[in-house]
Amino acid sequence: MTIEDITTKQRYLSHELIDIGSNLTHSSFAGDLESVMSRAARAGVTRQIVTGADLASSRAAAALAAAHPGALWCTAGVHPHHATEFAPERHAQLEAMLLLPRVVAVGECGLDYFRDFSPRPAQREAFVAQLEIAAASAKPVFLHQRDAHQDFTAILAEFRPALPGGVAHCFTGGPRELEAYLALDLSIGVTGWVCDERRGADLRAAVPLIPADRLLIETDAPYLLPRDLEPRPKSRRNEPAFLPHIAQVLAALRGESPDSLASVTTRNAVRLFGL
C-alpha cells in the first residue's frame, strides 16, 4: 500500500492544522520532498515549522522556508547533541539567522542526558547561550529535554521572564512534569508519542490536563511514526500528512472533537510563532 493510500484512509478535518515540528531537511525526505509537502497539504496540514538542529540544518531550513512562502517557517538553533559545535565565535551566525523573516524561534535547544552525545557542561553552556540570544532577539524558544528535567527547569526559570514564549517540543512526560512546565508558562507540543499506549502512558495521563491555550501539535517527522497508524508505511517514515491522525487520538483523550482541537492548536501556533 502506498503512502497516498494510507493518507486517503485518514479522516481529514474541516479545520487546518499546523505542524510545529517537522524535520523536512532530513535526508529521508531528499528524494520526494515535494510529494511529502503535497500530501501534507491535501491532509489539511497547510503550514509547517521546520526544525533546525544545528547551524547547517538551520540554514537549510531557512532556505527551504524561503522557497515555500506561506507554507513553511523554521527554527534556528543547536540541539544538545551538537552542543560542542556551538563555540562562542559561532553565536553571531545564529544571531544573523534569527533576522531572517521566516525564522520564528530559537532551537531546537535544551538538554539531553539520555544520549549524552555532548558532555553535560557543554550542553548547559550551549543552552544558556541560546536562551540569552533568544531573549536579545525577542524570539520564542523551541525546547528539547530528555532525562534532564531538574537542570533544564532550573536554567530555564532564570531566563523565562526575558523570553516572549516557548514550547516544550515533543513533550513525553506525565502530570508532574507538565505542572512544572506550565509553571514556566510554556506551551506543550504533543507528537505521535501519544498514540502509543505502552511507552506513552504518562503522556496520555497528562494530556487532559494541558490547558487549551497551551496545546500545540507536531509530528517530529520523519521520527515518531504513530504506533497505532493503520496501515503502517513500509518505510516506517513519519510524515506531516499523518498529523490529522495524531489530532484525532489527542482529541479523544481530551474528550473534544478533532475539529475543535485543530482550531485551538492552530490559533495557539499562530500566536506563539507570529505566523
Per residue in 167-195, pLDDT tens? Answer: 999 999 999 999 999 999 999 999 999 99
Residue with the larger pLDDT of the pair 14 and 233 = 233
pLDDT score recorded for residue 190: 98
C-alpha cell at 233: 508505511
| pLDDT bracket for residue 103 (50, 70, 90) | very high
In whole angstroms, give the CA distance from residue 140 to residue 130: 11
Q: Is 257 exposed, middle or buried (0-12, 13-18, 19+ CB in 10 A)?
A: middle
CA–CA distances in Å: residue 202 to residues 177, 193, 216, 272 = 10, 10, 18, 26
% of residues, the chain, pLDDT over 90: 90
201-207 own/partner pairs: CB under 8 Å, 24+ apart: 202/172, 202/173, 202/174, 202/175, 202/177, 203/171, 203/172, 203/173, 203/174, 204/253, 205/174, 205/175, 206/171, 206/173, 206/174, 206/175, 206/177, 206/178, 207/250, 207/253, 207/254
pLDDT score recorded for residue 1: 45
Segment 251-275 shows an average pLDDT of 96
pLDDT score recorded for residue 7: 55
In whole angstroms, give the CA distance from residue 202 to residue 205: 5
In whole angstroms, give the CA distance from residue 180 to residue 165: 15
Count the neighbouring beta carbons within 10 Å of the beta carbon of residue 227. Answer: 15
| pLDDT bracket for residue 230 (50, 70, 90) | confident
Domains of the chain (ranges; CATH) run 20-273 (3.20.20.140)
Segment 11-15 shows an average pLDDT of 68
CA–CA distances in Å: residue 173 to residues 134, 169, 180 = 25, 11, 10
pLDDT at 225 over 50: yes
In whole angstroms, give the CA distance from residue 215 to residue 3: 28
In whole angstroms, give the CA distance from residue 69 to residue 61: 12
> 149 near 177, Cβ under 8 Å?
yes
